[in-house]
Amino acid sequence: MENTTVKSLCSICEKQTRTFSCKGCSKEFCRNDFTKHFDTLDKQLDQITNEHNDIIQKISIHKTNPDRSPLLDKINEWEQNSIEKIRHIAREYRNKLIKGAKRSIGQVESELQHVGKKIKQIRDENDFNEIDLQQCQEKLKQLEQQLANPPNTIIEKSMELINQIPSNLAFDKGFVRFNFKEKMNKFVDI
């Protein structure tokens, strides 16, 4: 009986030799490369074990210090950026309001002088009736309201600012999902 040895091509060194088959990757290896192949697998297993241990350590850190989460850092950063944007917009609105109020006060003063002249004229001429007094009184109320609430005031729109603050926080089944970068890039200052 003849003893025939079957030789195959090693997938690493490509020598025609007696090979061993790895059932995991289905490749053929010579004796030396088969050992190297398992050494490589051992190193991969060590790396996977280290990654596993790293995750266990991160879980331990999160359990002992839940406020130290990188996600919380992102939320804190988003909060600070949003606050700064609100301050910036509020400053702009204050400046616009002050300019508008100055214009309005000038208009009220001018109209008030006109009403004052009319009152003086009515008193000097001693020629007036209830209609004249009612018109003066209505004009004074109108000027007082204009002084308290200048026209074109933007205060009623201030709540719309809150809607302009980007946040893509979605609470879904106990998880928080968000994309701050995308939302912050879409934020447009007024």
Beta bridge partners of 63: none
Q: Is the Cβ–Cβ distance between 31 and 20 less than 8 Å? A: yes
What pLDDT, on a 0 to 100 scale, did the predictor assign at position 51? 96
* pLDDT number for residue 6: 77
Taking the C-alpha atoms of residue 88 and residue 73, their distance in angstroms, rounded to an integer, is 23
Predicted pLDDT at 77:
87
pLDDT value at residue 167: 58
Residue 155 and residue 107: Cα distance in Å, rounded? 20
Per-residue pLDDT of the chain (190 residues; tens, 9 = 90+): 454 567 899 999 999 999 999 999 999 999 999 999 999 999 999 999 999 999 999 888 878 887 777 778 888 888 898 889 889 888 888 888 788 778 888 888 999 999 999 999 989 998 888 998 999 999 999 999 888 877 665 555 555 656 656 555 544 444 444 454 444 444 433 3
Closest of 164, 161, 150 to residue 96, by C-alpha = 150
Contact 178, 186 (CB under 8 A): no
Query: What is the predicted pLDDT for the residue at 45?
Result: 95
Helix (H, G, I), strand (E, B) or coil at 183: helix
Q: What is the structure's pLDDT at 190?
A: 31
Q: Decide: pTM greater than 0.85.
A: no
pLDDT at 151: 65
pLDDT at 188: 37
